[in-house]
Structure 1
């Protein structure tokens, strides 16, 4: 009846036949409209609460959520998972199917770099507008997301202090994308597609808007969704709830879903619609790129900070792929690298990181994850004395390389005590002609002392960065930041991976650092501020007295304080060491607002007061404080000096 709302509730229709399986039609009378789903009869236990309570005794919120979850379950795929739960061995690759690829047949980036033709070809392709980028960004940051933080991994700050504190996986990749365009000046903006969770897409849209798309062309950035949600299963073959997860701290009575791995990208690339500036377009990622005359795609995971396109190394990789495509019909080039081998306290070795390895399966070169290998084969690939190079998840392939209708094998993984479907994108390597290249990584010598963990263990147990291994002039293509413990090293990682371009690093520091200059000498104070502004520092405040400085420090957050050790007193009763009292007030009080700010503590004259300032610096040994004499700072080197202080170099 018009003007009256339909009472909410659920109706289970008599058993009907859908295809060759019996189902119930479940009708939901929502507040706005009536909807229905077909529920196979062997899953009707989902109409009960976790404790067995019938539908009508559950809350309206529970009923709405459960019906919504039932509506998005793909039942045929769900049956596949259920049938595999009790037979995981059926998904394993048998030893007789496997043969090993001769490592000598896999070229290295170092070797290819001596052949100028690949670099020249790669640069030409980027300049001509033939390259696009796809980033797999659907991760949920289970390893180090704080409780209650619902942001996807891509949008979580990698570090929580200093001038790089606001950097996220996405912002770092956006800066690299912009740098690629600035370096090569392509004929048109480089398209960037991000493969994201359907539930998180709006987070990405909002983040791009908040940051004005990082200076990129908004119409060249497209999102496409991973919509392949499949429920997880318990060991007894029943669909799992979130409360069933091992180690879970919640009793949440909701269906536990999993997006079926990055393998869902294969289908989504050809079938799902794209979103640009939040608007849905009736266009697939493939069509979006084909219409822009793109020929090659670089794909990587969001949490590999080494996955850059702006470097010489990637120009070589791209050129090598294009040459192999032309010469022998190769349709994908996968980057491999060496695993990091850790040493425990008892001297035994372990694999600190690992991934799929390149093997011949039934005579075809492909990438195989460890969970798909029989144990005997797996052990051969994990010899710490002679480790196999493994998949970095960086790949270059053609716009037409992913075939329409491609079907990837169904694998089962067990995580948190639950079985979940895993369709692996890298099984595509066994379907299309694939080649491999080994790329370098610079491994911090002491980072491998502890195995990775999802537990928020005290990161102080991790050793600080030491010297790196590998060729100093090599291009580091693999820098994963996947674990909680990496966050302590994040600023160092960022410095490390951007060391190839010092100007970029300085631009980031100058654009994000808040500076306070405290000096009672007007000419020196304002002259220094003008000098820094002229050099690109964008956020500078000044104070001419102790009182002005204290007010600013109480009201604002600063990353760097340039503090004169000698400040003229406000009256004759005060000493001339106002700078010393400010320094002590900041560093002796952990609760002070700017306690963690870096301080350049300086003086400009020989005096008793200046000596007191030097004495404080020498005896207290405050972290993040540097003492210099003003005349020792060379104006044209001031930016480098401050950058080193800020970054702890």
Structure 2
């Protein structure tokens, strides 16, 4: 129990607190006061005292007022801002790969994982990163990502001149944003698995914030008679969380200049991708994003756009994009005009992150997500208030897009098996098929007891990051799919 309020004095709501709530139209949180026990009254007071009421009121008002305000007209992102797969030369790829490895060797890259969500749509209450998508190895998403970091460190060490001996690689620091709902379970999962081979001190966990859920008239929804319903403040909460936890200073102290930022639920994510990093450094921009081409006009993905002629690059959610615009074709190429899908694979400079951490909070515009929220009245329709990671892009003085091949880098894990798309089964197949192509390209052979389209092989990230260095393991060998290929 806290000590700011004596539970013996709670026959009526504390007057100063009640007056403050009235100032913001939230006095209804005490509606069940007379029915509460002394302990429950104490819990309710502590819950309310922990809220920054002026800030939350400002967020609610600004967010409600911003709804329906016409946004600036949009234009397709200029071609000069996009590095496409078809226009990329082998020489450029090799140059960027080497530039990226050099920066990693020098400790200039940090990795930032957005992992605040639970796997509720997957039928699990565990953090999403704990999920096993059914690969032959049984590895979780967290383990796959940790081993890719280890592999990049290994590649960076190998990239230096052999005369330098065993070069010391500064470990890639991994910042993992959890939420109050996933923090403890995430930390325990890493501890129980000995950080998947990483050093414990190269992993830092920090929590995103929460914000009260509100009704359609902007009032707090009560989860219980003595507790306000709250939800995480969206993956865009990462900026404020980095600032308030002091981690932006921590990054600067470590010599980090670039942050690779991604969402946890992508089984093919190339964590700490040297090629993307090298491209980012050469482009000299403040922010960048990997993008995939939109598969069809109605695909439910946000797309990158330019806000007006010469305006900032930003993301428009699929629900906000007019269907006529979504279907527009570029007459010159025959492709969709608005084709660059946001798949939450971003790169930022640390300088820009510092700017955003101050700017986003100052503006305090949150998205209203209408949801069914557990409350004292059963499930109530209300709003969760969220910021998104892509809310930062309009602040960037310069943004570049880097096209990647969907089948090589994007295997989302969002819905339970049996759904139509983005399931553990679909992600597993994408991994197995990609790795089967790697094996075949390096002279290996596959046999299989089920149809080839339903199977493949898994290559351990510790053996290969993107298909490299597999000849010695695979050439002339036959693998019976499905299986895991390790050293």
Against the structure 1 CA distance between its residues 371 and 13, is the aligned structure 2 distance closer, same or farther, given a 3 Å change threshold?
Answer: farther
Counterpart of 1:235 in structure 2 is 216
TM-score normalised by the chain length of structure 2: 0.75
Kindly indicate whether the alpha-carbon contact (under 8 Å) linking 1:154 and 1:168 is maintained by their aligned counterparts in 2.
yes
Kindly indicate whether the alpha-carbon contact (under 8 Å) linking 2:236 and 2:386 is maintained by their aligned counterparts in 1.
yes
Counterpart of 2:207 in structure 1 is 225
Following superposition of structure 1 onto structure 2, how do residues 19-418 of structure 1 map, counting pairs within 5 Å?
Answer: 23-24=17-18, 39-40=21-22, 42-48=25-31, 54-59=32-37, 62-63=40-41, 65-83=43-61, 87=65, 89-95=67-73, 98-103=74-79, 105-114=81-90, 115=92, 116-146=94-124, 149=125, 151-159=126-134, 163-165=136-138, 167-185=139-157, 187-227=169-209, 229-242=210-223, 254-272=227-245, 284-309=246-271, 314-325=273-284, 330-341=285-296, 350-351=298-299, 353-361=300-308, 363-370=310-317, 373=320, 376=322, 379-381=324-326, 383=328, 386=336, 387-404=338-355, 406-408=358-360, 409=363, 410-416=365-371, 417-418=381-382
Against the structure 1 CA distance between its residues 85 and 188, is the aligned structure 2 distance closer, same or farther, given a 3 Å change threshold?
Answer: closer
Partner residue of 2:404 out of 425, 433, 440: 440
Whole-Å Cα distance in 2 between the matches of residues 46 and 391 of structure 1? Answer: 39
Structure 1 gaps, min length 5? 1-5, 17-22, 26-37, 49-53, 244-251, 273-283, 342-348, 444-475, 511-535, 537-635
Whole-Å Cα distance in 1 between the matches of residues 111 and 189 of structure 2? Answer: 19
Against the structure 1 CA distance between its residues 501 and 433, is the aligned structure 2 distance closer, same or farther, given a 3 Å change threshold?
Answer: farther
- Once the two structures are TM-superposed, the CA of residue 197 in structure 1 deviates from its matched residue by 0.8
Whole-Å Cα distance in 1 between the matches of residues 461 and 60 of structure 2? Answer: 50
Kindly indicate whether the alpha-carbon contact (under 8 Å) linking 1:358 and 1:390 is maintained by their aligned counterparts in 2.
no
Whole-Å Cα distance in 2 between the matches of residues 184 and 500 of structure 1? Answer: 25
Instruction: Name the SS for the 1:171 alignment partner.
Output: helix
Whole-Å Cα distance in 2 between the matches of residues 153 and 172 of structure 1? Answer: 13
Against the structure 1 CA distance between its residues 397 and 183, is the aligned structure 2 distance closer, same or farther, given a 3 Å change threshold?
Answer: same
Whole-Å Cα distance in 2 between the matches of residues 78 and 372 of structure 1? Answer: 26
Kindly indicate whether the alpha-carbon contact (under 8 Å) linking 2:85 and 2:405 is maintained by their aligned counterparts in 1.
no
Against the structure 1 CA distance between its residues 323 and 338, is the aligned structure 2 distance closer, same or farther, given a 3 Å change threshold?
Answer: same
Against the structure 1 CA distance between its residues 102 and 637, is the aligned structure 2 distance closer, same or farther, given a 3 Å change threshold?
Answer: closer
Against the structure 1 CA distance between its residues 364 and 163, is the aligned structure 2 distance closer, same or farther, given a 3 Å change threshold?
Answer: same
**Greater Rg by CA:** 1
Taking only aligned residues, the RMSD between alpha carbons, in angstroms, comes to 3.5
Against the structure 1 CA distance between its residues 340 and 72, is the aligned structure 2 distance closer, same or farther, given a 3 Å change threshold?
Answer: farther
Kindly indicate whether the alpha-carbon contact (under 8 Å) linking 2:147 and 2:462 is maintained by their aligned counterparts in 1.
no
Against the structure 1 CA distance between its residues 107 and 137, is the aligned structure 2 distance closer, same or farther, given a 3 Å change threshold?
Answer: same
- Once the two structures are TM-superposed, the CA of residue 58 in structure 1 deviates from its matched residue by 2.7
Whole-Å Cα distance in 2 between the matches of residues 497 and 173 of structure 1? Answer: 16
Against the structure 1 CA distance between its residues 211 and 478, is the aligned structure 2 distance closer, same or farther, given a 3 Å change threshold?
Answer: same
Whole-Å Cα distance in 2 between the matches of residues 261 and 172 of structure 1? Answer: 24
Kindly indicate whether the alpha-carbon contact (under 8 Å) linking 2:153 and 2:172 is maintained by their aligned counterparts in 1.
yes
Whole-Å Cα distance in 2 between the matches of residues 223 and 236 of structure 1? Answer: 36
Whole-Å Cα distance in 1 between the matches of residues 96 and 128 of structure 2? Answer: 34
Against the structure 1 CA distance between its residues 266 and 7, is the aligned structure 2 distance closer, same or farther, given a 3 Å change threshold?
Answer: closer
Q: Does residue 392 of structure 2 align to residue 428 of structure 1?
A: yes
Instruction: Name the SS for the 1:333 alignment partner.
Output: strand
Against the structure 1 CA distance between its residues 47 and 388, is the aligned structure 2 distance closer, same or farther, given a 3 Å change threshold?
Answer: same
- Once the two structures are TM-superposed, the CA of residue 68 in structure 1 deviates from its matched residue by 4.2
- Once the two structures are TM-superposed, the CA of residue 136 in structure 1 deviates from its matched residue by 0.8
Deviations 1:58-97 (A, max 9, x none): 35675455344323322123323443575453555143xx
- Once the two structures are TM-superposed, the CA of residue 428 in structure 1 deviates from its matched residue by 1.7
- Once the two structures are TM-superposed, the CA of residue 509 in structure 1 deviates from its matched residue by 12
Kindly indicate whether the alpha-carbon contact (under 8 Å) linking 2:301 and 2:318 is maintained by their aligned counterparts in 1.
no
Instruction: Name the SS for the 1:400 alignment partner.
Output: helix
Counterpart of 1:447 in structure 2 is none
Kindly indicate whether the alpha-carbon contact (under 8 Å) linking 2:276 and 2:402 is maintained by their aligned counterparts in 1.
no
Whole-Å Cα distance in 1 between the matches of residues 96 and 118 of structure 2? Answer: 37
Whole-Å Cα distance in 1 between the matches of residues 89 and 234 of structure 2? Answer: 34
Whole-Å Cα distance in 1 between the matches of residues 100 and 179 of structure 2? Answer: 32
Kindly indicate whether the alpha-carbon contact (under 8 Å) linking 1:164 and 1:491 is maintained by their aligned counterparts in 2.
no
Against the structure 1 CA distance between its residues 88 and 497, is the aligned structure 2 distance closer, same or farther, given a 3 Å change threshold?
Answer: farther
Whole-Å Cα distance in 1 between the matches of residues 397 and 269 of structure 2? Answer: 23
- Once the two structures are TM-superposed, the CA of residue 318 in structure 1 deviates from its matched residue by 1.1
Kindly indicate whether the alpha-carbon contact (under 8 Å) linking 2:7 and 2:38 is maintained by their aligned counterparts in 1.
no
Kindly indicate whether the alpha-carbon contact (under 8 Å) linking 1:92 and 1:372 is maintained by their aligned counterparts in 2.
no
Kindly indicate whether the alpha-carbon contact (under 8 Å) linking 1:266 and 1:402 is maintained by their aligned counterparts in 2.
yes
Counterpart of 1:34 in structure 2 is none
Structure 2 gaps, min length 5? 1-5, 158-167, 330-334, 372-380, 418-422, 445-456, 464-472
